[in-house]
A and B are shown apart, each in its own frame.
Chain A
Amino acid sequence: MDAETGIGASVLRKEDARFITGKGQYTDDISVFGQTHCVFVRSPHARAKINSINTDPAMAVDGVIRVFTGDELVEDGIGDLPCGWVVNSKDGSPMVSPPHPPIATTVVNYVGEPYAFVVAETLQAARDGAEAVEADFDILEAVVDTATASSSTQIHENAPNNQAYDWELGDKEATDAAFENADHVTELDITNNRLIPNAIEPRAALGSYDAASSTYTLYTTSQNPHVERVVLALFVNVAPEANLRVISPDVGGGFGSKIFVYAEETAVIWASAKVGRPIKWRADRSESFLADAHGRDHVTKAQLALSSDGEMLGLRVKTIANMGAYLSTFSSSVPTYLYGTLMAGQYKTPAIYVETQAVFTNTSPVDAYRGAGRPEATYVVERIVETAARELNMDPVELRRKNFIPPDAFPYQTPVALEYDTGNYAASMSKALELADSDGYAARKAASEANGKLRGIGYSCYIEACGIAPSQLVISLGAGVGLFESAEVRVDVSGSVSVMTGSHSHGQGHETTFAQLVSDRLGIPFDSVNVIHGDTGRSDYGLGTYGSRSIAVGGSAIDKALDKIIAKGKKIAAHMFETTEDKVNFAEGQFSYEGSNEPKPFAEIAGAAYIPAVYPLDELEPGLSEKAFYDPKNFTYPAGSYVCEVEIDPSTGVTEIQKFVAVDDFGNVINPMIVEGQVHGGLAQGIGQALLEHGIYDADGNLSTGSYMDYTMPRAADLPDFEVDMTSTPCTHNPLGVKGCGEAGAIGSPAAVMNAITDALGVKDVPMPATPHTVWETIQQGA
């Protein structure tokens, strides 16, 4: 391999060349001939009955072409937006999924829900038209609060108690027994604050219909264009799958919010055929706040049973999860299979029982946001472990070490369904403590106190399940899709390579990382590998990028296709060497045979494949292009230890993060620079959750935090420099030994920050976000 560009090298990114020069092509940068513009008319009410909609005044606006209401979509056979994962309640009954028409017809259930849309010659005309649409509503009582939703007025006819499901996992009896035998029980009531994803590129769609070929083309901001396509074809009935091409060009961040199939692109692609011209829509930021799926929003009671010397015996968790007004695309899996299954954390707690009640409210739908269930699980486990240590007067590090699953216990079956393949949690912890200079903490705390400041230290040892996921396992648990990934490695005549992947990059740098993988294995120059993604017209059906799955599943698919390329290359080389393929070796980009002192470079074999003079074509097809679908054998289990040190000014309540250390175990790493960047970004979002960000609805269901004036995004000065390092226990079940790194920072960091703040203040809990006001109030209450 080439040490400069191979696996393990911090290669600078290929994609940067276009991004730093303004040459990226994001959806809103693409314009097509004859395009029109679209604006959605959104509900000003959290819950209301639609009595009538009058579109005539909008049609009278200069430049308006058509105004559509939801009834027209229904009449045309357009279906509801589906939730793709059926979760069953404790009694075995399937979840309740209320009807979710893309454009509301009879009722609206959250502020911002679209009930009509206007297509016009210009964006200005579309805006004017949208303002002119008149609707008559009967305003109904709205349900907003997560904790009391199930005892509030019923929102959906088919959902008594506003309940989607009441799910459980684990052995209730064994857990009850553990609590009966415990010396000490720690209890913690905590909330996980609602977050609004805020990718800096707003969602957008450009749909067009070609009547001559009956085909549709949709450019959109999707993390998974093939899923978008199959949902629009199979469930929403926009067009036969073969007649629909979905392209996700450059996408400006997703963080989960661009996984889902939304009303807007559905309406745009459908209406493009009705109008007979292409239609473009781009969200204003206000629309992003109102109509992107939100994240988190849990209310949880947790109890941890321990022996007097700190052995963790049992864990009980009871969570109410706010799903918002409807079940978004993958929402049901988030507070269940991506949450309850993580409650063992890094510990050998023998008995765990988790209950999740999912409730509807008149708020924006809630779905996966960076980490998706795993940050919420880590927050429960790591907050209660730290609290237990304080109650038992134990060092929180020692309590964790005492309970870690030891390195020789892998593979380790947890009591909550997952089997961890590998890990070394004590090693990550030791490295993190060293980087955090934990020995010097007492002196730093004394110095803070001498300055009238409060200082605290907090730890968080997270685990996550990534590389989503073994198809037959998730299908048996209710998923409506397999979760494999596809790859095609197409070798050119000259020996350069194009790779088509079902993964999608919206910041992750796949064009670089995947090229490193291919270049390394084939021994060809990094610059002769071209990675193509995000277009259903160019790559095979794939599942896209979320859940830190791209390298573990998408990368493994590429690796599998490369195996086939090398195998065929050996067959061709065998004919050239006049031997058999089992006697041909491939290494460092050369096919060799011990009977010959003239090895054949990869490019020569590629040429021979396409100029098939040397091998019999009845035995071997011409060409060198191979496909693979890789289905993971298990989840991967990235894990790590985070240490946060804060200083709080008690006179203002301002918290400053003085030190943040993250030590992660991602297994093998292809590009350390990119991996560290992923950690930085995750940390920023996790620290944002802990200190700054909160999606708040008022009692009537208006979004109080509906702009950047009201919702606190982390700015540069809000964040510290991060100290990031790694340990490695390679994944045992995928060919690359990789685990995935996209979400770790957001998963591990909130608990570390909040453990540090509660340590500094000497209190059991402070609700997130720990704004200066909240911290100051907490201090005043204690004073």
Chain B
Amino acid sequence: MKVDLTVNGSQHAVDVADNALLSDVLRETLGLTGTHVGCDTSQCGACTVHLNGSSVKACTVLAGQADGGDITTIEGIANGDDLHPMQVAFRANHALQCGFCTPGMIMSAIDLVQSADEPLGADEVREGLEGNFCRCTGYHNIVKAVLDAQANM
């Protein structure tokens, strides 16, 4: 099937299998390998991207479901050389080690902060990131980074 996707501001008309996952189309067809796949049960969150402004796990969205959608991946959140405040905060707070969960974690965290009605506290950040696993950092510095970025978003 043919699907039209706007990805990081660029329009793509792609021919995909009916059962193709959005994560596979991003990685294999469009070469956007920053979206990582860490599990097959929609638990780890490494594949998190934004679809029409909300975070989704790209490994459990069919490409066909995203037809006509506006998608942002980790490659699309910086403005040229100006990094997104969440990217800046992750580096400044040492909120990543191996870097594999990082794209999904950043995409989830951006949506978490953007959808909050009021500034988040540490406990709310911890609850809000329950859909993203990190095996390296113990989340300690991720929580710090999200709170830090929140002040600049």
Contacts and interface: CB of A to CB of B under 8 A. Distances in A.
Contacts of A20: 74, 83, 87, 90-91, 96, 99, 102, 106
A671 B94 CA distance: 11
Interface in B53-80: 73-75, 78
B87 to A, nearest CB: 4
A706 to B, nearest CB: 10
A12 B126 contact: no
Contacts of A200: 36, 38, 44, 46, 98, 100-101, 133-136
A673 B97 CA distance: 11
Interface string A705-718: 00111000111110
Interface string B22-42: 000001100011111111110
A674 B138 contact: no
B104 to A, nearest CB: 9
A319 B72 CA distance: 53
A680 B28 CA distance: 34
Looking at A20, A26, A708, A719, which has the most chain B CB atoms within 10 Å of its CB?
A: A20
Contacts of A263: none
B137 interface: yes
A400 to B, nearest CB: 26
Interface string A507-531: 1110000000000000000000000
A713 B137 contact: no
Given A22-B32, A719-B138, A713 B100 contact: no
B94 A506 contact: no
Contact of B98 (A506, A674, A682, A713): A506
A16 B40 CA distance: 26
Contacts of B78: 21
Interface string A659-688: 000000000000001101110111111000
Given A22-B75, A716-B125, A673 B130 contact: no
Nearest to A505: B98
A31 B28 CA distance: 9
A70 interface: no
A200 B98 CA distance: 9
Contact of B139 (A22, A509, A684, A685): A684
Nearest to B34: A22
Residue of A285, A674, A677 ringed by the most chain B CB atoms within 10 A: A677
B58 to A, nearest CB: 13
B141 interface: yes
Contact of A28 (B34, B37, B133): B37
A26 B46 CA distance: 13
Contacts of A674: 94
A509 B136 CA distance: 12
Contacts of A722: 138, 140
A250 interface: yes
A22 B94 contact: no
A77 B33 CA distance: 37
Nearest to B43: A708
A24 B34 contact: yes
A508 B83 CA distance: 23
A29 B38 contact: no
B44 A708 contact: yes
Nearest to A255: B135
A285 B40 contact: yes
Q: Which of A199, A251, A678, A681 has the most C-beta atoms of chain B within 10 angstroms of its own C-beta?
A: A681
B98 A721 contact: no
B92 interface: yes
Contacts of B127: 716-717
B7 interface: no
Given A200-B135, A713-B133, A716-B126, A677 B43 contact: no
Given A19-B96, A19-B99, A20-B83, A252 B106 contact: no
Interface in B92-149: 92, 94, 96-103, 106, 122-123, 125-127, 129-130, 132-143
A15 interface: yes
A32 B141 CA distance: 36
Interface in A195-214: 198-202
A118 B46 CA distance: 27
A684 B141 CA distance: 12
A121 to B, nearest CB: 13
Nearest to A745: B138
Contacts of A202: 37-38
A715 B46 CA distance: 13
A721 to B, nearest CB: 6
B61 to A, nearest CB: 18
A13 B41 CA distance: 32
B100 A26 contact: yes
B99 A507 contact: yes
A22 B133 contact: no
Contact of A681 (B39, B125, B135): B135
B44 A680 contact: no
A253 interface: yes
Nearest to A506: B98
A708 to B, nearest CB: 4
Nearest to B131: A715
B92 A284 contact: no
Given A21-B75, A198-B135, A202-B38, A124 B17 contact: yes
A282 B100 CA distance: 14
B38 A285 contact: yes
B31 to A, nearest CB: 9
Contacts of A677: 94, 97, 136-137, 141
Contacts of A507: 97-99, 136
A202 to B, nearest CB: 7
A13 B135 contact: no
Contacts of B100: 24, 26, 199-201, 252-253
B84 to A, nearest CB: 9
A255 B103 CA distance: 20
A13 B142 CA distance: 15
A151 interface: no
B135 A284 contact: no
The 8 closest A-B pairs by CB, nearest first: A22-B34, A252-B100, A19-B99, A684-B138, A507-B98, A22-B74, A708-B43, A507-B97
Given A200-B44, A707-B39, A708-B41, 4 more contacts: A20-B99, A24-B34, A200-B133, A715-B129
Interface of A: 12-13, 15-26, 28-29, 31, 124, 198-202, 250-253, 255, 282, 284-286, 506-509, 673-674, 676-678, 680-685, 707-709, 713-717, 719, 721-722, 745
8 contacts: A20-B102, A200-B36, A200-B136, A201-B98, A508-B97, A680-B137, A681-B136, A722-B138
